[in-house]
Structure formats: structure tokens, C-alpha cells
């Protein structure tokens, strides 16, 4: 384990994000300032815990989508910056609660907040950040944006509860799994992409197009993430490989392998994922079974297919640097797996 993705390939994936980064660069600086500013509280623990997570190397993809979609829609006001910061806070709040629910010890290679400050503080600071997010959205003053993001907040939580109910259930269907990631991951991508049209008061078809773009991008993103946890299509072992396996998470590669496997293989999945009895060589064995059944390749195939829907969703917008940047995000998400 610990074999890192070759630098040139990682760079190649990163270069796909370059147009987006250039497009949003100035606004992202403002967003980063707001994030630091709004995490301030006379209660010490709140900024400490927030900074820990905010500075732990996330890509801030969701706020970048909000900025880019605002620009695509020709929005000329200032509300997109606070909206984007609020979206990052909502995402951060979700991560904090996720880590508590999953009992995770590491995230992006760092110790989780719950391991440093405990589950209790982590739950409560998550609540604070969600409250701050809505405060910021009220400042922006668009009821349309508030509607999009309050829907997203409820849907994300619903998705997390669905995931909890499906936990350790190897019989989860692909459909049921897609409903889960549609809610817990794609809903915020969809909302982040839609807010640009809402802020710019664009017609309903443009709002729907951006929503569809974000949703399908989010599905692709999550499926690639699932595949990467088992090494992606080359089964290279990066530093986060095996996290889902060790936490007994049901993801699409597991679902496909379980359904396509024989009795002996299902016994393997039940022992490892359901009962949590994992030995040294089991991750390698899991990857071997996945490769036998094309489970990783097919997961990535699904991701490409959602990516293609996201690509087409943008067709109604005029060509230009914003559209290119948003489409390159799809390519970036997919190419992470190679």
C-alpha cells in the first residue's frame, strides 16, 4: 500500500481543472476570506475545528461550481460569493456529521475532527456551520437560492439516513444505491450548479439544464470516488485505498461483485463487509474479485455515462470559456480514476 499515483498522471487530471480555476480564481479568494470570517465565534472551539477541516485540502469543487454557473448565466451581482461560501459550509457540516456517523479516523490523510475534539463537539460545530450557511444565504436575499439550498439540505440528510439503513446490506440493489448517492452527493452538486441560474434570474430551462449538469456530475464524481477506493481502473494503491472496505461501506464495486459472484465469493463479502472480519490480504482479494467481474471498470463506465449526460445538459448555453470550464470539470472527475 501507499504507492502514490505517478505525478504526471495526477498532473494531467489536475490540468483539466485549470480553466475552472482560472475562471473562479478571484472570487475564490473572496470566498476563502468569508469562510475564515464566518467561522469566527467567541467560542474558541468553533473556528479551531472549522479551520482544521476547511484547510485540510479539499478542492472546493462545489463553491467553484456555484461561481462558474453564475458566470455562465451572466450574473453581475455579488450574491454568488456568499452563496458559494454557504455551500462550502453546508458541505463541511455534512463531512463533520459523516465522520461521526461513520466513526472515521482519517479524512484526506488527516486525523478527523472527531478524533481530535470528540464526537460531541463535531456534531455541534456541524450544526453551527449549517446555521451560519443559512444566515449567509439570508444575507444574499434570494428566496429562489434559499429554496434550492434548503431542499438540498433536507435531501442530503435523507440520503445519509438511507445509506445508514442500507449499511452492511450486501443485497442493496444498484437502483437503491443510486438513490442514495443521488441524495447524499449529487443533490449538493446539483444545487451548487443551479444557484447561478437562480441568482441571474434565468429562464426555467436554463436552471433545469444546470441542475441536470450538476446532478450527473455529482453521480459521476461519487462513482469515480467509489472506484478509486479500490485503486481505480489500474488498481494502483493510493493513500486512501481501502477506506470504504475497512469501514464496511456498500458501494457500487461491492454491489456488482456481490451480485456477479458465486457462493464462496458472497461468503467473502459477508465476512468482510457485513461482519467486519478483515485480514491483511483481504483488500487485495476484494480487488481481485472486482477485477474478475469487471466491477471497477463497470463502475467507471457508469460514471462516464453520467458524465456524458452532464456534458449534453450544457448544450443549450452559448459556447465560451465558462461552458468549457464546466465541461472540463467532468473530464477532470472522470480522469481521476486513471
Least distance in angstroms from the C-beta of 298 to a second copy: 27
Beta-strand pair 106-107/110-111: antiparallel
Q: Does 141 bind a second copy (CB under 8 A)?
A: yes
Least distance in angstroms from the C-beta of 79 to a second copy: 13
With a CB cutoff of 8 Å and minimum separation 6, the contacts of 52 are 110, 113, 116
Query: 93 or 219: whose CB is closer to a second copy?
Result: 93
CA 265, chain centre distance (Å)? 30
Q: Does 201 bind a second copy (CB under 8 A)?
A: no
Can you tell me the distance from the alpha carbon of 54 to that of 36, in angstroms, rounded to the nearest whole number?
9
Q: Does 128 bind a second copy (CB under 8 A)?
A: yes
Is there a contact between 1 and 242 (Cβ–Cβ < 8 Å)? yes
Q: Does 199 bind a second copy (CB under 8 A)?
A: no
Angstrom distances, CA of residue 6 to CA of 12, 110, 221, 235, 336:
10, 21, 21, 13, 12
164-183 residues in contact with a second copy (CB under 8 A) are: 164-165
Least distance in angstroms from the C-beta of 158 to a second copy: 6
With a CB cutoff of 8 Å and minimum separation 6, the contacts of 263 are none
Q: Does 115 bind a second copy (CB under 8 A)?
A: no
Instruction: State which of residues 157, 278, 297, 309 lies at the interface with a second copy (CB under 8 A).
Output: 157
Query: 185 or 299: whose CB is closer to a second copy?
Result: 185
Instruction: State which of residues 153, 190, 252, 273 lies at the interface with a second copy (CB under 8 A).
Output: 153
Q: Which stretch binds a second copy (CB under 8 A): 76-84, 95-103, 210-218, 292-300?
A: 95-103
38-57 residues in contact with a second copy (CB under 8 A) are: 41, 43-46
Phi-psi region at 81: left, alpha or beta (left = phi > 0; alpha = psi -120 to 50): alpha
Can you tell me the distance from the alpha carbon of 137 to that of 288, in angstroms, rounded to the nearest whole number?
47
Can you tell me the distance from the alpha carbon of 249 to that of 260, in angstroms, rounded to the nearest whole number?
18
Binding site for a second copy (CB under 8 A): 41, 43-46, 97, 100-101, 119-121, 123-125, 127-128, 130-132, 134-135, 137-138, 141, 143, 146-147, 150-158, 160-162, 164-165
Amino acid at each position: 500500500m501507499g504507492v502514490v499515483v505517478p505525478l504526471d498522471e495526477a498532473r494531467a487530471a489536475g490540468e483539466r481543472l485549470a480553466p475552472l480555476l482560472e475562471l473562479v480564481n478571484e472570487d475564490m479568494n473572496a470566498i476563502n476570506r468569508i469562510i475564515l470570517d464566518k467561522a469566527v465565534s467567541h467560542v474558541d472551539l468553533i473556528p479551531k475545528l472549522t479551520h482544521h477541516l476547511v484547510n485540510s485540502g479539499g478542492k472546493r469543487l462545489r463553491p467553484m461550481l456555484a461561481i462558474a454557473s453564475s458566470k455562465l448565466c451572466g450574473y453581475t451581482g455579488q450574491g454568488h460569493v456568499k452563496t458559494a461560501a454557504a455551500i462550502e459550509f453546508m458541505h463541511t457540516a455534512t463531512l463533520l456529521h459523516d465522520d461521526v456517523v461513520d466513526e472515521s479516523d482519517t479524512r484526506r490523510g488527516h486525523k478527523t475532527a472527531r478524533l481530535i475534539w470528540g464526537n460531541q463537539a463535531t456534531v455541534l460545530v456541524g450544526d453551527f456551520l449549517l446555521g451560519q450557511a443559512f444566515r449567509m444565504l439570508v444575507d444574499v436575499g434570494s428566496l429562489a437560492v434559499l429554496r434550492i439550498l434548503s431542499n438540498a439540505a433536507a435531501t442530503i440528510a435523507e440520503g445519509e439516513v438511507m445509506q445508514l439503513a442500507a449499511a452492511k446490506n450486501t443485497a442493496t440493489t444498484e437502483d437503491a444505491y443510486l438513490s442514495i448517492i443521488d441524495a447524499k452527493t449529487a443533490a449538493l452538486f446539483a444545487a451548487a450548479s443551479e444557484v447561478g441560474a437562480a441568482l441571474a434570474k434565468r429562464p426555467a430551462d436554463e436552471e433545469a439544464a444546470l441542475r441536470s449538469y450538476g446532478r450527473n456530475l455529482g453521480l459521476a464524481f461519487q462513482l469515480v470516488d467509489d472506484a478509486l477506493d479500490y485503486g481505480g481502473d489500474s488498481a494502483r494503491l493510493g493513500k486512501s485505498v481501502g477506506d470504504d472496505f475497512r469501514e464496511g461501506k456498500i458501494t457500487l464495486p461491492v454491489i456488482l461483485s456481490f451480485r456477479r459472484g458465486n457462493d464462496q465469493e458472497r461468503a467473502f463479502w459477508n465476512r468482510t463487509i457485513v461482519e467486519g472480519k478483515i485480514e491483511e490480504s483481504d483488500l487485495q482479494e476484494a480487488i481481485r474479485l472486482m477485477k474478475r467481474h469487471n466491477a471497477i471498470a463497470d463502475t467507471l463506465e457508469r460514471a462516464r455515462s453520467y458524465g456524458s449526460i452532464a456534458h449534453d445538459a450544457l448544450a443549450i448555453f452559448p459556447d465560451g470559456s465558462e461552458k468549457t470550464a464546466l465541461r472540463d470539470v467532468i473530464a477532470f472527475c472522470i480522469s481521476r480514476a486513471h
